[in-house]
Amino acid sequence: MQTIPIGPGFGAEVRGVSLLDAASSAEAFAYVEAAFEEHSILLFRGQEVTDTTQIAYSRGFGPLELGKVGSRSAGSFLGVISNIGDDGSLLPPEDNSWLVAAANQLWHTDSSFLARPAKASVLSARTVPATGGETEFCSTRLAWERLSPARQSELQDLTVEHAYFHSRDMIDPNLMTPEQRAAMPAVNWRMTWRNPKNDRRSLYIASHAGRIIGMPDAEAKALLDELRAHATAEGHTYLHQWRDGDVIMWDNRACMHRGRPWPADTGRKMVRTTIKATDADGLAEVRPPASFAAAAE
């Protein structure tokens, strides 16, 4: 079992362990889990991944999240991100899947808008386009560590409002149904997330972060834009070009990611499982001070 670095200071390819090994051997799992906590992004190549293997692997890391209300994967552990219809044909440009793809192209972290956000996501490539369709990652842990101690102390305990509508409304105010709006009210989180396993802190920001409690909206927006630009600055990201059989697991507490465009006449299908954060993952500390906690529950 070994790890080979892939990104600028974060991310590693895992060799000599498959998803199935990690799902069936305690020793392989312990190796992969330690690598995940350290590198934030793990790449597995050449996997013969099935839905069952992906779920079995993901379950080892914690409880799985169900698909969102009103989405294609509602009620399932498997989130399908695809422009290919059930009959195998390409979905037309007006299909909602293209708006979903556009929203995924904003820098984000998965499910920060849920009352129980995601610790990790596991994404497997099922149909890969010949060009484009990459996924790009940055480390919000390294971004935090690049800030001066004075800046860190100003930011560390700010309370940030996250909502699915903050990111979706940037793409199209009609992207969310009234049912989805009602099901996903805004939640508040501290601006930083400390991982109790290694005592390292990350900026917890995303396209879903829209406001800062106690700060005028324009100032909050400028600060969030500045921090997102800082985290994703040139030279600090890893662009993954997908190959058949690739699986990537990322730490939503310590990274942001975004999808990249691909030609509209080409199919792309990815399947995601998502692992919920628990207090053992540092969630308790990310809850904001008591006066704001009501909104987060």
What b/e string do you get for 129-139 counting C-beta neighbours within 10 Å, with b at 16 or more?
Answer: beeebbbbbbb
Q: Least Å distance between CB 122 and Mn ion?
A: 11
81 binds ligand OGA per the rule CB under 6 A? yes
232 makes contact with ligand OGA (CB under 6 A): no
* Minimum CB distance to Mn ion smaller for 109 or for 188: 109
Q: If 0-12 CB within 10 Å is exposed, 13-18 middle and 19+ buried, where does residue 294 land? A: exposed
What residues from 73 to 112 belong to the interface with Mn ion (CB under 5 A)?
110
65 binding ligand OGA? (CB under 6 A): no
Q: For Mn ion, what does the binding mask look like between residues 276 and 295, x meaning CB under 5 A?
A: --------------------
From 117, 210, 259, 267, residue interacting with ligand OGA (rule: CB under 6 A): 259
Tally Cβ neighbours within 10 Å of residue 256: 28
For Mn ion, give the closer residue by CB, 65 or 110.
Answer: 110
Report the alpha-carbon distance of residue 259 to residue 93 in Å, rounded: 17
Question: Can you tell me which of 12, 122, 123, 286 binds ligand OGA, judged by CB under 6 A?
Answer: 123
Decide whether 58 or 159 has the Cβ nearer to ligand OGA.
58
Question: If binding is defined by CB under 5 A, does position 65 make contact with Mn ion?
Answer: no
DSSP 268: -
Kindly provide the b/e burial profile for residues 67-84, where b requires at least 16 CB atoms within 10 angstroms of the residue's own CB: bbeeeebeeebbbbbbbb
The smaller minimum CB distance to ligand OGA, of residues 117 and 259, is found at 259
Q: Which is nearer to Mn ion, 110 or 161 (CB)?
A: 110
Q: Which of these, 238, 232, 227, 222, lies nearest to 203 by C-alpha position? A: 227
Residue 14 and residue 4: Cα distance in Å, rounded?
A: 7
Do 55 and 165 touch, CB atoms closer than 8 A? no
Restricted to residues 110-129, the positions that interact with Mn ion (CB under 5 A) are: 110
Count of chain residues binding Mn ion (CB under 5 A): 1
- State yes or no: residue 121 binds ligand OGA (CB under 6 A): yes
Report d(CA 22, CA 241) in Å as an integer: 24
Residues that bind Mn ion (CB under 5 A): 110
Residues that bind ligand OGA (CB under 6 A): 81, 104, 110, 121, 123, 135, 257, 259, 270, 272
